[in-house]
Structure 1
Amino acid sequence: MKANYKFSNLCGTVYKQGNVVFSSDGNCVLSPVGNRVTVFDLVKNKSYTLPFENRKNIANISLSPDSNVLLTIDEDGRALLSNFKRRIVLHHFNFKKPINDVKFSPNGKYIAVTHDSHVQVWQTPNHLIREFAPFNLHRTYTGHHDEVLSIEWSPDSSCFLTTSRDMTARLFTLDPLEGFRPKTFAGHRDAVIAAYFSSDAKTIYTVSRDGATFTWRAKPAEGSDESDEDAAPMDMDSNSQPRNIIANTRWGIAKRNYFHQPGTKITCSTFHAPSNLLVVGFSTGVFGLWEMPEFSNIHTLSISQEKISSVAINATGEWLAFGAMKLGQLLVWEWQSESYILKQQGHYFDMNTLSYSTDGQHVATGGDDGKIKVWNTVSGFCFVTFSEHSASVAAVEFAKQGQVLFSASLDGTVRAFDLVRYRNFRTFTSPSPVQFSSLAVDPSGEVVAAGGSTDRFQVFLWSVQTGKLLDVLSGHEGPVSSLAFSPTGNVLASASWDKSVRLWDIFNRSHDMETLQLNSDVLSVAFRPDARELAASTLDGQISFFDVEEGKLTGLIEGRRDVAGGRNVGDRTTAANNVSGKCFTSVAYSADGHCLLAGGNSKYVVLYDVRDGVMLKKFQISENLSLDGTQEMLDSRKVTEAGPVELIDDRGDESDLEDRMDDTLPGAQRGDLSKRKYRQEARTKCIRFSPTGGAWAAASTEGLFIYSLEDSIAFDPFDLDIELTPSAVLSVLSQREYLKALVMAFRLNERPLLRTVYEAVPRADVALVSRQLPVVYLPAILKLVSDRLDPGGPDRVGRSPHLEFDLLWARALLFNHGRYLRGRSTEFASVFRSLWKGLLEAEQSISKICDENSATLSFIIDQSLARQNAEVIMVE
């Protein structure tokens, strides 16, 4: 089995914090998800996560105007400069302070970055070559008295606006100008969160947090009226060179406008200069669109229950992207038609469990928020959410047959969902309230089992058809942590904290039961696909293997040292010595049964070889230092008398009153004194292999990680050059190099030549040639076979004498590449339909010929018998 699984995608989390941005063509949205960046393609309806990681959660991202360079900056000011199109990191850089905003200049030559109360402008590094010192500081700008919040470049990249908490905005020039002093835009009564240029750069808009928008224009010159000022020509210096008009303009307030949203604050805003459209997001989840400079409201809508953290608008001004940090929402709204282009939301709390569908195309996840989400592994989008549960979802499981999903929850119910009509069609309950923590479904889909975790440690069995309780299995003395049906459906395995695994023969009248004793609490069990072996993980970090038929221990893996690693902020011991609590809480067999995947309370997921009991590979789920348990060594300089700096609640040090206040408890006037700052721990709660064997998924702290085999790159050594001609193909064919000739014929794509090469392959070599054929040509070869089998295709069966030959090709291709094709059933759907149609037409033609031949043979036999009888009568 292959073990070269690589990170493929991150689902389950669509937005964490920071700003969202559009690509230059406006078709893609870039959203920070923890310390990674996910790209949502709104045209192709797909999403993918960039493979590189920042050290901590990303606070700001910025994309160059040509979409070649992506700059991602984390909470500490450490940045990654990457080639966005090639998805590789070019440079690492440390700005040494937290960054509030970063912007590329419109010409793409400079990068402006906030640096506390200063602003730094850097020259943009070259994205085509690697340099030793790529970041060159152009200039540092000072003048603000408090933290700088935002930066906005002028259309000609000659100057930029900055806004600050000191309630002012300032205008700086990129290069020094003689006699120029930075302009100050004052008058606001709260922090100015954004400032914008109009498309002609004759108007400046400033937006403050308290809901005020000021319009700034050039003051009339002394001795002239305002109309003369509007028509003033471009200033020229003594050398007849145009001067920077923006810098030499005397700016003044032309208009004051207010949004009049009582009890709210402005949290984010953006401006589309070509259409003069101002978009503002409020702390109540409301956003509005205003047309400037008239300040006419287009519409105001509520799209979230929490404050809007980030807003962006695409280049055409049609689509708006919103991010809500507290709910983890990402929305793309088309304001003209008032419709959603994209609406995604991850689990509000931790993700507990996952399950793959039988075809590997869908993954269902359950979380502490009581919701069940079903994700498409190809597109990365969630297409249905079930909210029927009122408590945490502990387990989900797809039925092996049919579009049915089962879930078990701590609310005391087990529910069945129809994925065709998207409804909860069955609810299973126990006679007395029980919190269900485990779930298993019979391979036939007729019986569902759930185990309790409180009070009564029993296993309940229900009939899916009738919804009635079939049986209650008693015997465990501790919570039932895991359930698993054998692939044959004859045995149900239940694992418990009472240090035992019980095997139940539920379809036998006597309900035979066998107990397997272990040395510690059992956390998870899994059957091998052939149902002959059972794996059980325990609290002491061991994985035990049992022979199901004989009930004997056949193998043991000591995995505590493998899963150990990572140190929490409050740990007193080193990561190497701290193995307490490090164990596997979830195990899963591969599709062929040769390997076992294990994950648990650690940042590692380990892949073992079952036969030899050795570790094949160790995957680190996350390198995010914002999580506990990801770093091996702690910095003693961050430990104070009050404890680690990361765990000290510094809410009272915030400069804004709304950030200092804590009104989590109703009626609490002085705040919730029990609230503490906490850090999430990097761990894996559930892992599953895809039934196709080409991928595996992990439900972790940061979301749903999907690792897949690197099969997107197909090696094709034949290029279409001047030497690739029909005569060259026939020459290669005469040398009996059938595979090479077939690939060359596919490159030329001439049907007569392709048919000649196809029919020249000997029957004995069909299996070998089909096995070695590159996968990029599978759709073409399957289409060729289906056309030859289809009577209405280019090669009708009535004219072709090679029906058996075509069937040999179809069987060999499906047998050799079945796993690859099964994992891409949606991609090759049209080819499969045409092949199925061709096989069906061939079957009907053969059956028709057989029926006609049978009738003809029966007639001939009857005629021969009649003739023999006539001859006998004549002789007599």
Structure 2
Amino acid sequence: MKTDFKFSNLLGSVYRKGNLVYTADGTCLLSPVGNRVTVFDLVNNKSHTLPFAHRTDVARIALHPGGQLLLTVDEQGQVILSHFQRRIVLYRFSLKEAASALVFSPSGSHFAVALGRRIEVWKTPSTPGSTDGADGDDYGGLEFAPFVRYRRYVGHHDTVQNIEWSSDSRFLLTASKDLTARIWSLDPEEGFTPTVLAGHRTGVYAAWFSHDQETIWTVSKDGALFRWQYLPSPDAAPETLSDGDERWRISDRHYFFQEQAHLTTAAFHAPSNLLVTGFSNGLFMLHELPDFSEIHKLSIAASNIDTVSINKTGEWLAFGSSALGQLLVWEWQSESYILKQQGHFDSLNSLTYSPSGDRVITCADDGKVKIWDTASGFCIVTFTEHTSGVTACEFARRGNVLFTASLDGSVRAFDLIRYRCFRTFTAPKRLSFSSIAVDPSGEVVAAGSLDDFDIHIWSVQTGQLLDQLAGHEGPVSSLAFAPNGGSLISGSWDRTVRIWSVFARTQTSEPLQLQADVLCVTVRPDSKQLAVSTLDGQLTFWSLSEGTQETGLDGRRDVSGGRKATDRRTAANAAGTKSFNTVTYSADGSVVLAAGNSKYICLYSVETGVLLQKYTVSVNLSLEGTQEYLNSRLLTEGGPQALLDEQGEASDLEDRMDTSLPGAKRGDAAQRKAVPEVRVPGVAFSPTGRAFCAASTEGLLIYSVDASVQFDPFDLDIDVTPESTLKVLTNREWLKALVMAFRLNNSKLVTRVYRSIPTTDIGLVVRDIPQVYLERLLRHVAKEADASPHLEFNLLWLESLLRQHGRVLKERQGEYAEVVRMVQRAVTRIQNEIMKVADQNKHTIEYLLGQPRPAAEVNGDTMKMLGRIDGVKMDRSAGVVQDEDMADGDDEWIGLE
């Protein structure tokens, strides 16, 4: 099996902090997710995460008006310039200070960035074939210094919060916490001097130009909205006016009256004069200027709204809330949601794939169970029945049933067709369940707890408690059913693994003794081997039938890495504290994935015990445990700088107040600042084996096999070339051409040969195909059935393959498990689509047949039609029912249009 997995997508988190940006056409929304950027396609209902990552969380993003260049700045001022369409990094640069605002000019030739109280304007690097340079020359993308600072502005006395360009890119309007807004010119203008707009009592959050550039709007934190116009002094006499008496003055004042709430974000759409404001109580308001008439006033969350963005047409409003991880796109005219997504706002605990492989289910400490679509990247369903943290989830192999275990003392079963909880299982006494296992037939569910040493087993049909398995002398940490349904395996902190014969006449358990506490157990798909992870970092493999250890490996050095701010030991010396908390087999059972409380995911070969790959989950320094070495400059007299409370000296009273309830904070009560720690509580292979997902602190990471590799020859001879393959295909030697195409492993060539084989010869080709190419042919047919429109052609291939080679697939199911699951997924998708079309046609026919017919037609033609019913035949090409006795040109037809 291929092991070259690459990062593919990030799910489970839709917004963290920073600003939201629309593309120029308004169809895509860019959202910062930790140290990455996710792009949401609002029209096609898909999302993807850009492959590059910052070293800390992304603070500001800006997209070039041309749509090619993307600027992202993290909390430390590190800038990445990337090509948005090609998703590649072009240049890295450091601003040496955190940026509070970042925006491109409308012309695209410059971009402005706010660094504290200082504003800097930089030239935009040119792209190949563009004329983005300052003098309009085409540099062809070959620049020695892509970032050139054009001008620096100093005048504000506090942090600049917002920058706005005029429509002609000649002037800048800045808003600052020093209670003022200022007007600057990009180049020296005759008769223009930098202007200060003062009058607010609190920090000015934002300032904007009107569409005609004749009016300026400013809004402050206390909800005051001022309108500025270029007017003469009201005290001067008209006959004594001169040009020097005219200046920017406040012509109108408006106020947002919000008790116990302050303004946190605002956006203005100049062409439609639409003002959108968000407040700390989760309320947002829409006003039309200059009349300040209220259009809408709605609440979208219980916490503050961090950012708002308006697309180019002014129809879609995007809101982001970091406290709950919410991202909303609202169409205010129709009052409907275009996008409504929310990630887990607490740490993930477990995940599982659906049997079809197109869904990933996650559960977290926030008590929610979410179902994510791997194709679109969106959360499609959220279950909130649990009242406490959900610790484990497991799918039934048959049927669309999901089982979850929670700390609230219940195990629940969810129907994923009707999306409802249909069964709740509880124990005789109050327990907090931490592990779960489901029988392959879906009739029995077992759960273990850290509060009790027994294993509880329920019947799914009746919901009754069937048995309590006693034998462990410590808390049960992990459960797993063998895929063949023969036994239940349990791991405990009493350093034993027990194999239970649950369905036998006499329930017996065989203990396997280990050297440390058991953290995780998992069974190979062929039910012949067992993998056990223990607290000392060992990974051992046992024979399930013999009960003997086959091999083992020491993974402490592999999983160790990363150092916390409070660690007294280096990352290399902390290996003794590292272990694997989660282990899973691949579909064919040849490799295992293992992960734990570290930033690494390890991929091992089961047969040799060799470390094949080591994946780094995150390089985000905003998380604990990602850096290998601590910086001594961050160690102060009061302790590590990361643990100091930097918000305690905030100037505003509401920022200094701690409004959280007693007992709501997790961890040490004396700790002033809690930094999330990087960890991987769960990993899972997809049923097809082409991808795996990992639940991490950053979210749900999807790794997939890179499909960009085109040339991967297999058993290649010197006379096997694309030209000779096409020549053999022209001679109608189907089997030889197909084998030559497989040897070259050129997907386009294989597809051409595959589609050229006539349907009458499919059985002969499948019968004589060498067994070494059977896996490749099955994989290709499954891909074709999943993507191409040739429905009947692909089904004929699948039927012939399964009919003639079904015995081989069953005898060597471990080797062919991956491709068989791909075939199963393709057939299931085709079945669902055909059933959907059939149901639609059925309802359409019933509707048309139920329509009333004209009376004359009913009275005059009824007997004639009944008399001819025996001679009616179906003309499939025309799609109508035609009478055999009708002459050409006769317009009497019976049927449906």
TM-score (normalised: structure 2): 0.82
CA shift for structure 1 position 658: 1.9
Q: Which residue of 2 aligns with 1:207?
A: 219
Structure 1 stretch displaced more, 434-443 or 706-715: 706-715
Q: Which amino acid counterpart does residue 411 of structure 2 have in structure 1?
A: V
Unaligned runs of 5+ in 2: 129-140, 714-724, 810-815, 839-897
| Matches for 1:59-74 after TM superposition, within 5 Å | 59-74=59-74
Aligned-partner SS, 1:649: coil
Q: Which residue of 2 aligns with 1:358?
A: 355
CA shift for structure 1 position 158: 0.7
The answer to whether the aligner puts 1:604 opposite 2:606 as a matched pair is no
CA shift for structure 1 position 338: 0.6
Aligned-partner SS, 1:275: coil
Given that 1:733 and 1:757 are in contact with CA atoms closer than 8 Å, whether structure 2 keeps it comes out as no
Aligned-partner SS, 1:684: coil
Q: Which residue of 1 aligns with 2:312?
A: 315
Q: Deviations over 1:304-351 (max 9, x none)?
A: 110000100111111110000101101111101111111111112101
Q: Which residue of 2 aligns with 1:853?
A: none
Q: Which amino acid counterpart does residue 135 of structure 1 have in structure 2?
A: F
Q: Which amino acid counterpart does residue 497 of structure 1 have in structure 2?
A: W
CA shift for structure 1 position 655: 2.9
Select 2:427's aligned residue among 423, 426, 430: 430
Aligned-partner SS, 2:557: helix
CA shift for structure 1 position 43: 0.7
Q: Which residue of 2 aligns with 1:873?
A: none
The answer to whether the aligner puts 1:145 opposite 2:157 as a matched pair is yes
Return the alpha-carbon distance in structure 2 between the equivalents of residues 364 and 667 of structure 1.
29
Return the alpha-carbon distance in structure 2 between the equivalents of residues 213 and 461 of structure 1.
63
Q: Which residue of 1 aligns with 2:123?
A: 123
The answer to whether the aligner puts 1:6 opposite 2:6 as a matched pair is yes
Select 1:705's aligned residue among 701, 713, 732: 701
Q: Which amino acid counterpart does residue 601 of structure 1 have in structure 2?
A: N
The answer to whether the aligner puts 1:181 opposite 2:178 as a matched pair is no
Aligned-partner SS, 2:577: coil
Return the alpha-carbon distance in structure 2 between the equivalents of residues 150 and 531 of structure 1.
61
Change (3 A) 1:773 1:425: closer
| Matches for 1:258-269 after TM superposition, within 5 Å | 258-269=255-266
Number of residue pairs aligned between Structure 1 and Structure 2: 790
Return the alpha-carbon distance in structure 1 between the equivalents of residues 805 and 331 of structure 2.
45
The answer to whether the aligner puts 1:409 opposite 2:406 as a matched pair is yes
| Matches for 1:682-701 after TM superposition, within 5 Å | 682-701=678-697
Structure 1 stretch displaced more, 279-288 or 260-269: 260-269
Change (3 A) 1:526 1:761: closer
CA shift for structure 1 position 604: 0.2
Q: Which residue of 2 aligns with 1:23?
A: 23
Q: Which amino acid counterpart does residue 179 of structure 2 have in structure 1?
A: M
| Matches for 1:33-48 after TM superposition, within 5 Å | 33-48=33-48
Given that 2:786 and 2:826 are in contact with CA atoms closer than 8 Å, whether structure 1 keeps it comes out as no
Given that 2:562 and 2:598 are in contact with CA atoms closer than 8 Å, whether structure 1 keeps it comes out as yes
CA shift for structure 1 position 68: 0.9
Q: Which amino acid counterpart does residue 150 of structure 2 have in structure 1?
A: H
Q: Which residue of 2 aligns with 1:219?
A: 231
Given that 1:741 and 1:757 are in contact with CA atoms closer than 8 Å, whether structure 2 keeps it comes out as no
CA shift for structure 1 position 289: 0.6
Aligned-partner SS, 2:642: helix
Q: Which residue of 1 aligns with 2:169?
A: 157
CA shift for structure 1 position 181: 1.8
Return the alpha-carbon distance in structure 2 between the equivalents of residues 11 and 79 of structure 1.
24
| Matches for 1:268-667 after TM superposition, within 5 Å | 268-454=265-451, 456-665=452-661
Aligned-partner SS, 2:175: strand
Q: Which amino acid counterpart does residue 526 of structure 1 have in structure 2?
A: T
CA shift for structure 1 position 21: 1.2
Q: Deviations over 1:636-683 (max 9, x none)?
A: 111112111111112223233322222324799xxx984511211111
Given that 1:581 and 1:601 are in contact with CA atoms closer than 8 Å, whether structure 2 keeps it comes out as no
Return the alpha-carbon distance in structure 1 between the equivalents of residues 596 and 794 of structure 2.
51
Q: Which amino acid counterpart does residue 286 of structure 1 have in structure 2?
A: L
Return the alpha-carbon distance in structure 1 between the equivalents of residues 787 and 759 of structure 2.
12
CA shift for structure 1 position 734: 3.3
CA shift for structure 1 position 410: 1.0
Q: Which residue of 1 aligns with 2:893?
A: none
Change (3 A) 1:330 1:248: farther
Q: Which amino acid counterpart does residue 254 of structure 2 have in structure 1?
A: N
Change (3 A) 1:656 1:714: farther
Q: Deviations over 1:292-315 (max 9, x none)?
A: 111111111001110000100111
Given that 1:786 and 1:835 are in contact with CA atoms closer than 8 Å, whether structure 2 keeps it comes out as no
Given that 1:287 and 1:302 are in contact with CA atoms closer than 8 Å, whether structure 2 keeps it comes out as yes
Return the alpha-carbon distance in structure 2 between the equivalents of residues 490 and 673 of structure 1.
48
Q: Which amino acid counterpart does residue 421 of structure 2 have in structure 1?
A: N
Return the alpha-carbon distance in structure 2 between the equivalents of residues 601 and 130 of structure 1.
44
Return the alpha-carbon distance in structure 2 between the equivalents of residues 332 and 783 of structure 1.
33
CA shift for structure 1 position 263: 2.0
Q: Deviations over 1:41-67 (max 9, x none)?
A: 111111111111111011111111122
| Matches for 1:106-117 after TM superposition, within 5 Å | 106-117=106-117
Q: Which amino acid counterpart does residue 764 of structure 2 have in structure 1?
A: R
Q: Deviations over 1:174-233 (max 9, x none)?
A: 01224432111111111001011111111111111100111112215999999xx9xxxx
Return the alpha-carbon distance in structure 2 between the equivalents of residues 225 and 788 of structure 1.
90
Structure 1 stretch displaced more, 107-116 or 822-831: 822-831
Q: Which amino acid counterpart does residue 587 of structure 1 have in structure 2?
A: V
TM-score (normalised: structure 1): 0.84
Given that 1:110 and 1:124 are in contact with CA atoms closer than 8 Å, whether structure 2 keeps it comes out as yes
Percent sequence identity over matched residues? 52
Return the alpha-carbon distance in structure 2 between the equivalents of residues 371 and 781 of structure 1.
32
Change (3 A) 1:321 1:512: same
- Root-mean-square deviation (CA, aligned residues, Å) is 3.7
Q: Which amino acid counterpart does residue 176 of structure 1 have in structure 2?
A: P
Q: Deviations over 1:410-453 (max 9, x none)?
A: 11111111111111111111111111111000000000000111
CA shift for structure 1 position 695: 1.1
Given that 2:474 and 2:494 are in contact with CA atoms closer than 8 Å, whether structure 1 keeps it comes out as yes
Change (3 A) 1:308 1:434: same
CA shift for structure 1 position 480: 0.5
Q: Deviations over 1:562-600 (max 9, x none)?
A: 001111111111111112421000000000000010000
Return the alpha-carbon distance in structure 2 between the equivalents of residues 196 and 775 of structure 1.
56
Q: Which residue of 2 aligns with 1:49?
A: 49
Q: Which residue of 1 aligns with 2:891?
A: none
| Matches for 1:841-860 after TM superposition, within 5 Å | none
Change (3 A) 1:249 1:476: farther
CA shift for structure 1 position 775: 5.3
Return the alpha-carbon distance in structure 2 between the equivalents of residues 512 and 648 of structure 1.
55
CA shift for structure 1 position 25: 1.0
| Matches for 1:816-835 after TM superposition, within 5 Å | 818=819, 821-822=822-823, 825=826, 829=830, 833=834
Return the alpha-carbon distance in structure 2 between the equivalents of residues 473 and 188 of structure 1.
70
Return the alpha-carbon distance in structure 2 between the equivalents of residues 774 and 439 of structure 1.
33
Q: Deviations over 1:492-521 (max 9, x none)?
A: 010001111011001112111100000000
Given that 1:716 and 1:774 are in contact with CA atoms closer than 8 Å, whether structure 2 keeps it comes out as no
Return the alpha-carbon distance in structure 2 between the equivalents of residues 692 and 21 of structure 1.
36
CA shift for structure 1 position 824: 6.7
Given that 1:268 and 1:310 are in contact with CA atoms closer than 8 Å, whether structure 2 keeps it comes out as yes
Select 1:194's aligned residue among 201, 206, 210: 206
Q: Deviations over 1:250-309 (max 9, x none)?
A: 322111111122221110011111111011001110001111111111111001110000
Q: Deviations over 1:521-548 (max 9, x none)?
A: 0000000111111000000000011111
Aligned-partner SS, 1:651: coil
Given that 2:15 and 2:326 are in contact with CA atoms closer than 8 Å, whether structure 1 keeps it comes out as yes
Return the alpha-carbon distance in structure 1 between the equivalents of residues 824 and 231 of structure 2.
67
